[in-house]
Structure 1
Amino acid sequence: MVSACSDAGAGPPAAPGGAVRIPAPAKDVQGVRGPQVAVLAGGCFWGMEAVFEGVKGVRSVTSGYAGGTRETATYDQVSTERTRHAEAIRIVYDPAVVSYGTLLRIFFAVAHDPTQLNYQGPDKGPSYRSAIFPRDPAQRAVAAAYIAQLGAARAYPRPIVTRIEQGPFYPAEGYHQDFARRHPSHPYIVRWDHPKIAAFRAAFPALAR
């Protein structure tokens, strides 16, 4: 099986990381009913998927590629860093339980580091960039407002580099789906993703399954 993420995951577990203390979004998507979709990119999709699968109100999480074309939306091609895709996740969620703004708060607080430009931890290249792919104008407005809010609050020691982009989402190969849940002892998952899951549960206990 081809590895999606860096072999730098081998070795002893990283010390558990804590969530960044950030405010809730001042603006959120309102008036939506029924299942909604959010698409987020923040490094290797294994860890992103693992974090959001544990959020109450999330019905499903799919790993995949966003920001490029259907023809090149395969791991072998995306890993060349020439297809313009980002490794991303598609979240289907119930807005009566968890809001779009709350998903963004988790994204920024624990799921990845939004100050790392074109990399996350050991994974290098634009396919590991921090990006939000809004599904409609309301999501775009909330995402832009929250990035501005966090910047004004100086929530991080370095500038936020998260991009707001557009483009369809394409599911990744089957062996990438639910990877952390199916391979909890994989060295990469242990070193880089278990701390994120622990940080989410500690920082957002009311939202954890």
Structure 2
Amino acid sequence: MALRDTIRPLLGAALGLGLAGALLLPRLPALAEEAPRRLPEPATHAAEGPGSHVAVFAGGCFWGVQGVFQHVRGVTSAVSGYAGGSRADADYRTVSGGGTGHAEAVAVTYDPAQIRYDELLRIFFSVALDPTQVDRQGPDSGHQYRSALFPQDAEQARIAKAYIAQLDAAKAYARPVATRIEPGAAFYPAEAYHQDFMALHPGHPYIAVNDAPKLEALRALFPERTAAQPVLVNRPPA
């Protein structure tokens, strides 16, 4: 269960709102998170062939992670979904129970001629999450909100391991990086209503409190990597 599901009913009761009113309260931000920062460039560069490649990232609620990568130059698609569990359990209601082994994740399709996997990792760790948190991110708590990388091949696994080791050696954070490397996991797209959520609902309380700052950090810290318009899953007709 997400942390907000425990706290919000109590807060609603204290305010005299009742359970229905509590559900309308915005999700509560987490305390003492690592602030976004422009991390060092990866010392180990990915050797990738031509054509599109896919990388899968998990960093808490997939709305924000998708929203960040949809604004990265060289990314042609970013799809919210589930990784780390079976197809049979890959739906939001079941995954939200926290016992399926899935993580809320985002599959990013990119052109390595414009941005390499190691450069995507740098952006991910810099602005998309606090990688020192274990089984939680922001206001959400549970194994499904863990920080994880799901390498699609041996090269991605090598680069991910090297960059995490580089960040720990440089003491980039006050605590060690807790991001897991989980190779061999399948990815399953999430329900349609989860796709493009940040772009479609910028005024949603959760987005405004927890995810909009990530996009602002991308623009401030990596202006040369930021696309003005997001690459949407559900593109409007031309």
Q: Is the 8 A contact 2:48 2:112 kept in 1?
A: no
List alignment gaps of at least 5 residues for structure 2.
9-24, 228-238
Counterpart check, 1:196 vs 2:214: yes
Whether the aligned pair in 2 keeps the contact of 1:10 and 1:188 (CA below 8 Å) is: yes
CA contact (8 A) 2:4 2:27 kept: no
The answer to whether the 8 A contact 2:80-2:104 is kept is yes
CA distance in 1, matches of 2:165, 2:119: 16
Amino acid at match of 2:36: A
Asked whether the equivalents of residues 13 and 190 of structure 1 are also in contact (C-alpha less than 8 Å), the reply is no
Structure 1 residues 35 and 45 mapped into 2: Cα distance closer, same or farther (>3 Å)? same
Work out whether residues 49 and 62 of structure 1, in 8 Å CA contact, stay in contact via their aligned partners in 2: yes
* Aligned counterpart, 1:10: 26
Q: Deviations over 1:44-82 (max 9, x none)?
A: 000000000000000010000000000000001001101
Equivalent-residue separation in structure 1 for 2:146 and 2:35 (angstroms): 21
**Pair 1:169-2:207 in alignment:** no
Question: What is the TM-score of this pair, normalised by structure 2?
Answer: 0.81
What TM-score results when the alignment is normalised by the length of structure 1? 0.93
Counterpart in the other structure of 2:36: 19
Counterpart contact for 1:57–1:93, Cα < 8 Å: yes
Q: Deviations over 1:93-143 (max 9, x none)?
A: 011111100100011010000000000010000100000000000000000
- Cα distance, 1:29 vs structure 2: 1.3
Q: How many angstroms does 1:149 deviate by?
A: 0.4
Residue 167 of structure 2 corresponds to residue 150 of structure 1: yes
Equivalent residue for 1:76? 93
Give the partner amino acid of 1:152: A
* 1:30 Cα deviation from its structure 2 partner: 1.3
User: Which consecutive aligned stretches of 4+ in structure 1 deviate over 3 angstroms post-superposition?
Assistant: 4-9, 11-14
Match for 1:68: what amino acid? G
Identity fraction in percent: 55
For residues 40-119 of structure 1, what are the structure 2 equivalents within 5 Å? 40-119=57-136
Return 5+ residue gaps in structure 1 as ranges.
none
Q: 1:5 to 1:39 in 2, by over 3 A?
A: farther
Aligned with 1:194: secondary structure?
A: helix
Separation in 2, partners of 1:11, 1:42: 17
Inter-CA distance 31–122: structure 2 relative to 1 (3 Å threshold): closer
Cα distance in 1, alignment partners of residues 127 and 136 from structure 2: 16
Distance change >3 Å, CA 31–CA 171, structure 1 → 2: closer
Structure having greater relative contact order (Cα 8 Å, sep ≥ 6): 1
Q: Which has the larger radius of gyration?
A: 2
- Following superposition, the deviation at residue 13 of structure 1 comes to 9.2
> RMSD value over aligned CA atoms?
2.0
Equivalent of 2:49 in 14, 32, 36: 32
Alignment CA distance shift 1:82-1:54 (3 Å): same
Aligned residues: 204
